[in-house]
A and B are shown apart, each in its own frame.
Chain A
Amino acid sequence: MINILPGVESSAAALNAERIRMEVISQNIANVNTTHGPDGKPYQRQQVVFETVLQQQQQQDNPGGLAGSLQAVQVSRIENDPSPPRMLYNPAHPDANAQGMVAMPNINVHSEMVDLISASRAFEANLAVVKNARAMALQALGIGRRG
């Protein structure tokens, strides 16, 4: 297939990765008070890890220039945050221990919101790339046309 929209593969991969990140953040916020998961433990915060992927086609075009190749991004894994749970004193809670402490998930809603905003800004930046690619493609199609 001809590549009429420059750089659109990296942008599409990034949009996908940022969307996964936003989904994981919304899952964290939704489970901010989940004290009892399927394993009987409080919910643990999930975090996504991004990694770069070399674009295959660029590799073929430019076999020597590995360092100079364009890179896309993908989610390499979704990990549990190992930090300890928040302990809250609430003896009336069914999941309270002998001391009356309840283990709450290790989630800080404020930092999750900050992550959510940064993911959505990165998403918008990649959308701007796609919009500009489209404008450039239309401009290139108009070469030689009057007006």
Chain B
Amino acid sequence: MIDALFRQPNYLAAKKLLDVTVLRHEAIASNLGNVETPNYRRVDVAPGFEVSLRQALAARDPARLASLQPQVAVDTQAIAQRRDGNTVQLENELVRLHQNTVAHTLHSQLITGALLRLRLAITGRPS
């Protein structure tokens, strides 16, 4: 059926990556909100997601790609550089924030490109 149009692995991967940028934005918002909270530990998208996305892409399995669930987890690698035990570094978070916004733009344009190509294939007109 028509669902098959939207089950190309690259399209599904771009969709998942777009979801991840939104989730990471929420994590960064949480980190920057708690930049002055004692003993706060920074959160980020769980690193396991990237590995499972890569495996699912290598297997070219749409069902596995669609079932991936990115999660937010406490960043255990971050070391507190302040006396209050807070592991957030303002500059790093701001750099991540802007990187993430650019990544969001990239992924949404990839999706737009995929949809426009489908429309071109259906209508035969580039509009």
Contact = CB atoms under 8 A, between A and B. Distances in A.
Interface residues of A, number: 41
Nearest to A144: B115
Contacts of B40: 52, 71
- Which of B26, B37, B127 is packed against the most chain A CB atoms within 10 Å? B26
Given A68-B71, A139-B104, A146 B116 contact: yes
A4 B6 CA distance: 23
Interface string B1-43: 0000000000000000010011101111110111111101001
A135 interface: yes
B82 to A, nearest CB: 12
B97 interface: yes
Contacts of A70: 26-27, 29-30, 43, 72
A65 B45 CA distance: 13
B33 A6 contact: no
Contacts of A14: 32-35
Interface string B45-78: 0100000000000000000000000011110000
Interface string A48-85: 00111000000000100101111111000000000000
Contact of B72 (A69, A125, A128, A132): A69
A121 interface: yes
B101 A136 contact: yes
Interface in A4-21: 6-8, 10-11, 13-14, 17-18, 21
B98 A132 contact: yes
B37 A52 contact: yes
A7 B29 contact: yes
Nearest to A121: B90
Interface of A: 6-8, 10-11, 13-14, 17-18, 21, 50-52, 62, 65, 67-73, 118-119, 121-122, 125-126, 128-129, 132-133, 135-136, 139-140, 142-146
8 contacts: A6-B22, A50-B38, A68-B74, A73-B36, A129-B33, A140-B104, A143-B112, A144-B112
